[in-house]
Structure 1
Amino acid sequence: MVGKSLTPMYDPMMAVPRVFSAMRKGRIHSKGLRISRMAEISVILLLTIALAFAQVSPIHTVAAAKPQPPSSTSATWAKAYNIPYSYSLAESVAQTSSGGYVVGASCTAAAVTTPNCNTLSEPTAMVMRVDSSGNIQSQTQYNYLKYPYSTPLNLIRPTSDGGAIFAGNAQFGCPGTGQTSCGLIVKVDLSGNVQWSNDLQFSTSSSYGPLTWPLDLHQTTDGGYVVAGYAFAPAASYNPFVAKLSSVGQIQWQHVFVDPNSQYGAAYAVEQTPDGGYVVLGESTYYVSASYTASEILVFKLDPTGTLAWQHDYSIGTDSYAETLALTSDGGFILGGLVSISSANSYSSSVLLLKLDSTGNPQFAKTYAPSGSISDLAITGVQQTSDGGYAFSGYYFQNTVYDERAWLVKTDSAGKVQWDRTYGADVQYSSRKFYSFQQTSDGGFIAAGSTNQFNGGDNSLWLVKTDSNGNIAGCNDFQTQSDVSGSVSVTVSISDLKATPDSFTYVADTLSSVPGPLKTSKEC
């Protein structure tokens, strides 16, 4: 829990620890605001929906599959989806049992046109399904009836009944309560009809409203759900929370986890483990002095009733930030995040892969950074691949060419880079980002994000399907990159979390749905 940092302190009442949205991808966290140079486009796209309804192959399993070699053949392509004068953005993608893909997205109108994403010029949530070649099969937009500008669906997961469960945070007010920054959880059936929908907030609130944000959720083996995020509770401070819901959304248990030495923190990812418990990834931020803070990665394990089994802080570099978590086939975990290292004359950031065993002991810690002059580095997903290695997605800003590049990297089981690709032409002021990816059944990869090269400079929803080596056949719009990689030391300490029972309040809400307007622009 001891850190050393040159990170300026900021007022926690002025910003949440991090925002799980397009803005979050520009790195909003407890050390302040760090957004990309293309943020004027991406910042307004605050929504995320991620998977979809029908025929979804579960991507969240309790036990990670035993590594298998990839198949020898793989269909590849890249496509953008847009309408004129609108911004669209894909933040989640998953392969379906039919071999197609479901995409969680948002769409925002820049002008009043027909067709349109949303005439109020605010983001609307969207689910799109495409076939194995990227052709649109269906697309649906979701809005609140009373507050269409406040649709807060930031993530969605498939459920075993063929439906889906959504979670998120209202950006501009809570339709059910009229207060600001409440959380939302919605269950839909196979056809996308809402089965139940509730705002949630904790009993503690402030003049800023009931600041509650679910950042991750998954269906559990009993048919219920586990939810993790942060809450402005208790005592008007940000803390991680985890809650277990029944299959119909009833709360079975809930805890806020408070570290008395941490100034603020949050839980960013949760997974159910083979023993029926849960592993949670988060961050804790500590004051080093009256003017500076340090951030550390937090991982804690819960038993099936939510009782703490173990907890660790991981101090790496000057600051280390949690992003994403996946189970591995050996019963352990692979964590993705960022590490920042500062000296008297420099400040640099690298992607971090941290491999842990089943009790949280580090097995390796590797860093990765693109070569050359770069900034605004982000990792947006990590997973173990079918051959026992790892892959991660992200993006960065290239300071020489002055463009944003979507990034996909594959490593072996020890974290050594096997290949490293960026996607999209290196054109000044272009912006391409990957916000989500998944290995597909043929051993290739599907990645989802945004590009501004096919819609008059406005962002378009973007899907890229590669083979197992990250290639797109017949397409020159990707590049092999070299990176700077290395190992870093990890200081592990036992954190001081204590579970503090707290209670949600639920208020029912209603969503409307309409067909989506996106059209396909084939790239490769």
Structure 2
Amino acid sequence: MKSCAPLSPALAMIVLIVLSIAIAGCSEGVVSYDILVTKFDAGGHTAWSTKIGSGNQNLATAVTETPDAGYAVAGLVADSPRATAYPRVVRLDPDGRVLWDRTLDLSDVYSVAITGAPDGGFVVAQNINNFDSGKVSKIDADGQPVWNRTIDSALRAIIPARDGGFVLAGSRTFYIDANGTILWNRSFSSTSIREAAGGGFIAERSGVPYPDTSVFYLDNNGTVVWTTPVGSRESGKITSLFEDPTRDI
């Protein structure tokens, strides 16, 4: 069983995504994956647990909470380990029941990130080739497509911005408006990004496959105000960032 890192806990609840491994066709060495989404209460007791599978390769790479206290799980699905992996979003109600399950399009993806949109829908960032190809998709609250944008960048993370737009981290760093129009596009790479308390954004990039491991601060226009190397410049990996009330990182 392989576990994803836990999400930042809410005050009373914690949600974990666990990727469980089931063996099928052992003589051929075929391994299939199901997704297990489990919610724990403040005392660590299981509130509910939902298995999502199709008998194929089912992987989850991101989750976001919805306005009704449910969840949207993003990931990918493939018929076999060597088959094309399609982006996928599964919507759960507050009790973990599946409301809908959508395969978005025909992109062959490595990972999928997701965030909620102000209108109750979702914006999904697809990492297509881990280098210079990605796609951003808007779906409505029922999982139906609204718009798609192809972007010349691998996309590894997406966050909402205060003005209703979205910031994308990847082999390039982007800011898009609510309609998917690119407002700024910066050539520096980033692995993850978050909105800074005092305005602007805090981003990080890890050393592999990037040229160095660093933390950097961007203003609202995407201009790098400062950047600081961290640890080994060649092989470091940042796994978490935190900004305290004094804005130290």
TM range (shorter): 0.7 to 0.9
Which among 447, 450, 472 is matched to residue 203 of structure 2? 447
Partner of 1:239: 34
The one of the two structures with greater contact order (alpha-carbon pairs below 8 A, sep at least 6) is 1
The amino acid of 2:216's aligned partner reads V
Matches within 5 A, 1:308-323: 308-317=98-107, 319-323=108-112
Residue 465 of structure 1: how far off its partner (Å): 0.8
Which among 346, 360, 363 is matched to residue 146 of structure 2? 363
Partner of 2:13: 224
Residue 417 of structure 1: how far off its partner (Å): 1.4
Q: Could you tell me whether the CA contact under 8 Å between 1:215 and 1:269 is conserved in 2?
A: no
Change (3 A) 1:444 1:474: closer
The amino acid of 2:205's aligned partner reads G
The amino acid of 2:148's aligned partner reads A
Partner of 1:466: 218
Change (3 A) 1:224 1:316: same
Q: Could you tell me whether the CA contact under 8 Å between 1:218 and 1:227 is conserved in 2?
A: no
Which among 39, 44, 63 is matched to residue 249 of structure 1? 44
Residue 355 of structure 1: how far off its partner (Å): 0.9
Partner of 2:92: 302
Residue 442 of structure 1: how far off its partner (Å): 3.7
Which among 163, 166, 170 is matched to residue 394 of structure 1? 170
User: After superposition, what is the alpha-carbon deviation per residue over 1:123-178, rounded to whole angstroms, capped at 9, x for unaligned?
Assistant: xxxxxxxxxxxxxxxxxxxxxxxxxxxxxxxxxxxxxxxxxxxxxxxxxxxxxxxx
Residue 443 of structure 1: how far off its partner (Å): 3.2
- Alpha-carbon separation, structure 2, partners of 1:464 and 1:474: 6
- Alpha-carbon separation, structure 1, partners of 2:226 and 2:83: 49
Q: Does 1:270 align with 2:53?
A: no
- Alpha-carbon separation, structure 2, partners of 1:474 and 1:464: 6
Partner of 1:381: 157
Cα RMSD of the aligned pairs, angstroms, is 2.7
Q: Could you tell me whether the CA contact under 8 Å between 1:380 and 1:392 is conserved in 2?
A: yes
Q: Does 1:283 align with 2:64?
A: no
Residue 450 of structure 1: how far off its partner (Å): 3.7
Q: Could you tell me whether the CA contact under 8 Å between 1:216 and 1:229 is conserved in 2?
A: no
Partner of 1:59: none
User: After superposition, what is the alpha-carbon deviation per residue over 1:425-462, rounded to whole angstroms, capped at 9, x for unaligned?
Assistant: xxxxxxxx52211122343111112469xxxxx97641
Instruction: Work out the number of aligned pairs and report it.
Output: 219
- Alpha-carbon separation, structure 2, partners of 1:229 and 1:466: 33
Residue 292 of structure 1: how far off its partner (Å): 5.1
Structure with max Cα Rg: 1
Change (3 A) 1:465 1:359: same
Q: Could you tell me whether the CA contact under 8 Å between 1:391 and 1:410 is conserved in 2?
A: yes
For normalisation by structure 1, the TM-score amounts to 0.39
Partner of 1:212: 2
Unmatched segments (≥5 aa) in structure 1: 1-210, 341-347, 370-376, 396-406, 424-432, 453-457, 476-524
Residue 467 of structure 1: how far off its partner (Å): 1.1
SS in 2 for 1:315: coil
Q: Could you tell me whether the CA contact under 8 Å between 1:215 and 1:267 is conserved in 2?
A: no
Q: Percent identity?
A: 26
Q: Could you tell me whether the CA contact under 8 Å between 2:173 and 2:185 is conserved in 1?
A: yes
Residue 321 of structure 1: how far off its partner (Å): 4.2
User: After superposition, what is the alpha-carbon deviation per residue over 1:255-299, rounded to whole angstroms, capped at 9, x for unaligned?
Assistant: 221203x2x111111122111211111110124xxx951111111
SS in 2 for 1:293: coil
- Alpha-carbon separation, structure 2, partners of 1:276 and 1:303: 7
SS in 1 for 2:100: strand
- Alpha-carbon separation, structure 1, partners of 2:98 and 2:70: 10
Residue 304 of structure 1: how far off its partner (Å): 1.7
Residue 326 of structure 1: how far off its partner (Å): 0.9
User: After superposition, what is the alpha-carbon deviation per residue over 1:68-122, rounded to whole angstroms, capped at 9, x for unaligned?
Assistant: xxxxxxxxxxxxxxxxxxxxxxxxxxxxxxxxxxxxxxxxxxxxxxxxxxxxxxx
For normalisation by structure 2, the TM-score amounts to 0.77
The amino acid of 2:217's aligned partner reads K
Unmatched segments (≥5 aa) in structure 2: 25-30, 228-249
- Alpha-carbon separation, structure 1, partners of 2:17 and 2:113: 13
Change (3 A) 1:451 1:295: closer
Change (3 A) 1:219 1:292: closer
Partner of 2:181: 416
- Alpha-carbon separation, structure 2, partners of 1:304 and 1:365: 28
- Alpha-carbon separation, structure 2, partners of 1:358 and 1:393: 24
Partner of 2:133: 350
